[in-house]
Amino acid sequence: MTQLLINRDTGRIVAESVILARSPVSLFFGAMVKGIPTGSVLGLTPCNQVHTFFVPYPLDIVYCDSHGRVLRIDATISPNRLLARTPAAVTVWEARAGSLAPYVTLGAALLLTTVPTDPQG
Q: What is the pLDDT, as a whole number, of residue 87?
A: 97
Helix (H) or strand (E) holding 21: strand 17-21
Dihedral, CA of residue 114, residue 94, residue 37 and residue 25, to nearest 10? -90
Query: What confidence tens digit (pLDDT) does each residue in 61-78 have?
Result: 999 999 999 999 999 999
Domain residue limits at 45 = 2-111
Residues in the chain: 121
53 belongs to a structural domain: yes
Domain count of the fold of the chain: 1
49 belongs to a structural domain: yes
Q: Give CA–CA dist 41/26, Å, rounded.
A: 14
12 belongs to a structural domain: yes
For the cut 80, the answer to whether the pLDDT of residue 23 exceeds it is no
Query: What confidence tens digit (pLDDT) does each residue in 32-63 have?
Result: 656 788 889 999 999 999 999 888 899 999 99
Query: What confidence tens digit (pLDDT) does each residue in 1-17 have?
Result: 789 999 999 999 999 99
Contact call for residues 80 and 22 (beta carbons, < 8 A): no
CATH number, domain at 47?
Answer: 2.60.120.1140
